[in-house]
Amino acid sequence: MKTVDLHVHSNKSDGSFSPEELVSYALEKGLSAFALSDHDTAEGIEAAVHAAKGTGLEVIPAIEFSTEYEGKDIHILGLYIDHSGKEFKKYLKDFQDSRDLRNRKMCKKLTEHGIPVTYEEMCAYFPGSVLTRAHYAKYMWEKGYVKSMSEAFDRYIGDHAPCFLPREKVTPMQAVKLILKAGGVPILAHPVLYHLSDERLDKLVAQLKEAGLVGIEAIYSTYNASEERQMRMLADKYGLLISGGSDFHGATKPGLDLGCGYGKLCIPYEILQTIKDYRRKNGRYQNKIIFSDMDGTLLDDKKKLSPRIHEAIDHFTAQGGRFVLSSGRPLASILETKEKLKLNFPGTFVIAYNGALVYDCEQEKSILEQRIPYDDVKKILALSKECNVHAHTYTDDTIISPKDDEELAYYREHIHMPAVITDDIISALDKEPFKLILIQLDGNDKLESFRSALESRTGDRLHTFYSSPVYLECCMKEASKGNAIRFLCGYLNIDVKDSIAAGDAANDISMLKAAGLGVCMCNGTDETKAAADYVTQADNNHDGFLEIFEKIVG
């Protein structure tokens, strides 16, 4: 059974393991995911995420806020926070500044009570950590000022001891709203530990629910069966999700282990999956959709996808956003690339053949098709022969070409599909095709001759457009990326004004014009840039697509 731990601390707050050590230990323990939820800081998240890359372990960016409610210290967990957001980082900076001032004052008080220590000494003794009272207790114990950490609290830094100074705190309701603003899932941490009466706890949960609370930590290291049952009933009463965690701190909490608490804790992966499902259905991007061309836009010139872009798309779709691959490529080629680059995001659709096909990846079925009648296929092929220009078409998984020539070889360098060479194209097709493509590698004079002659043969049933300087595409007139966008937005009940489309070539223009906001890569053609609302500053080889998330989506 896959298990997780949704409440874990590192030495960036008051744990003893570094973020990297936590990743190694989580892998050793066989966890599928853990939430790094340090107290009032997100400093360790990047290191943990980086350490977990390629391991199959998911590190959930999280935080545990300390808040005050009716004289009680109440903790609110935020799972899946956007820890790099400007507003969120500003809040943490302001909070850290006030905390630093409090720590300086505590050092002064300790010095006055016979324990000479400066704030700078504490920072040097615990490098990179957010100082808490546990750090002061450890320092006094290791320096020999007290015989145990508990004595440090009793004599010096406990709630009613002479060197204690209260922290500046927010209310639990404010913490919930801050987590929501950061795109996170707010969870009431270990409510049993607050020793509130049933009436007061019910009142707190009611207020938090009104503020936007999503879940309760109903599975916890110290709960007995009765307490867990009570927390589950409370969650059910207010329609809240169940969360669970060990509250692992390493050596700071001896005997309490990662993933299993004091030995009996078990948080099944289904708990996390329910939280993920909630994020997709209720996330900040629920009614947003991004349509992306592939070559020259999403992918670099080596047909690779930047890890930063992949992470941004993952973050977007995890919070309800839809992501659609929109390409002139055949469906088989798009799906191959989708699997190779791990573009397996929930709710993904594909627009193939420049809009002639719309495909639902989860249902594995087409939901819109615009095929070219056989009579028109014959006319296109005959005209291409007259103009002496390469033309080929497709079945669902095979290229059908009259010649095995230089143009076909060039095309297959990037489109990895088998090819059948035959003079009888129609007999080789099992269905009417979605498109034909014409290719000329030495200029486009023959392509232009073909283009000007086509209308006289087929009327206005078909249209042609360039997807690159050497590729001329031919589809039904109704088939375009722009029309596919309008159809899919209607199909998903998303207002087209909430759509974003990105491309770089002439075949993307209809898409950029149809979307609520059109984005052209700076490496795009001049006519495509003219059709866009926004042109990226960086090209497709330097994460230009990332600007959609950093400057537009927010």
Domain membership flag for residue 516: yes
- Domain with residue 218: its CATH number is 3.20.20.140
Which of 76, 44, 292, 60 is closest to 169 using CA atoms?
76
Read off φ and ψ for residue 375, nearest 5 degrees: -60, -40
Closest CA to 438 of 477, 499, 496, 392: 392
Question: Which CATH number fits the domain that encloses residue 428?
Answer: 3.30.1240.10
User: Burial of 388 by CB count in 10 Å (0-12 exposed, 13-18 middle, 19+ buried)?
Assistant: exposed
Instruction: Please tell me whether residues 182 and 277 are part of one structural domain.
Output: yes
Please check whether residue 166 lies inside any domain of the structure. Answer: no
Q: Judge whether 31 lies within some domain.
A: yes
> Which of 476, 509, 530 is the C-terminal boundary of a domain?
476
Q: For residue 167, tell me if it sits in a domain.
A: no
Assess if residue 487 is contained within a domain: yes
Residue count (the chain): 554
Is there a single domain that holds both residue 363 and residue 391?
no
Q: How far is 440 from 470, CA to CA, in rounded Å?
A: 5
Asked if residue 63 and residue 27 are part of one domain, the reply reads yes
Query: In what side-by-side order are the strands of the sheet with 419-421?
Result: 419-421, 399-401, 390-394, 436-439, 471-476, 462-468
Domain range for 98: 92-157
Start-to-end C-alpha separation, the chain: 37
* 293 and 184 inside one domain: no
CA–CA dist 46, 454 (Å, integer): 56
- CA–CA distance, 546 with 551 (Å, rounded to integer): 9
* 273 and 417 belong to one structural domain: no
Q: Are residues 456 and 378 in the same domain?
A: yes
Q: For residues 73 and 189, state if they share a domain.
A: yes
Among residues 398, 348, 394, the alpha carbon closest in space to that of 371 is found at 394
**Whether 409 and 357 share a structural domain:** no
Q: Give how many domains the chain has, as a whole number.
A: 4
In a domain, 162, yes or no: no
pLDDT of residue 90: 79
Cα 140 from Cα 142, distance rounded (Å) = 6
Residue 165, domain member (yes or no): no
Give dist(CA 364, CA 355) in Å, integer: 17
DSSP state of 551: I
Task: Looking at the structure, tell me whether residues 424 and 502 fall in a common domain.
Answer: no
Give the DSSP letter string of 200-259: HHHHHHHHHHHHT--EEEEEETT--HHHHHHHHHHHHHTT-EEEEE--B-GGGSTT-BTT
Contact between 359 and 365 under an 8 Å Cβ cutoff? The reply is: yes
- Print pLDDT tens along the chain (554 aa): 899 999 999 999 889 999 999 999 999 999 999 999 999 889 999 999 999 988 999 999 999 998 888 878 899 999 999 887 777 887 777 777 777 888 899 999 999 999 999 999 998 998 867 677 888 999 999 999 999 999 999 999 988 899 988 766 678 999 999 899 888 999 999 999 999 999 999 999 999 999 999 999 999 999 999 999 999 999 999 999 999 999 999 998 999 999 999 999 999 999 999 999 999 888 889 889 999 999 999 999 999 999 999 989 998 998 889 999 999 999 999 999 999 999 988 889 999 999 999 999 999 999 999 999 999 999 999 999 999 999 999 999 999 999 999 999 999 998 889 999 999 999 999 999 999 999 999 888 899 999 888 888 887 889 898 888 899 999 999 999 999 999 999 999 999 999 999 999 999 999 999 999 999 999 999 999 999 999 999 999 999 999 999 999 86
387, part of any domain? yes
Q: In this predicted structure, what is the pLDDT of residue 169?
A: 67
Proportion of the chain in helix, strand, coil states, percent, rounded to 5: 40, 20, 40
CA 460 to chain centre: 43
Question: In this structure, are 79 and 177 located in the same domain?
Answer: yes
Residues 278 and 182 in one domain: yes
Neighbours of 226 (CB within 10 A): 9
Contact 414, 431 (CB under 8 A): no
Contacts of 236 (CB under 8 A, 6+ apart): none
| CATH of residue 324 | 3.40.50.1000
The one-letter amino acid code at 26 reads A
Beta carbons of 434 and 359 less than 8 angstroms apart: no
The rounded distance, in Å, linking the Cα atoms of 518 and 535 is: 9
| Domain end (from 431, 450, 476) | 476
CB 405 within 8 A of CB 455: no
Of 240, 260, 282, which closes a domain?
282
Same domain, 418 and 542: no
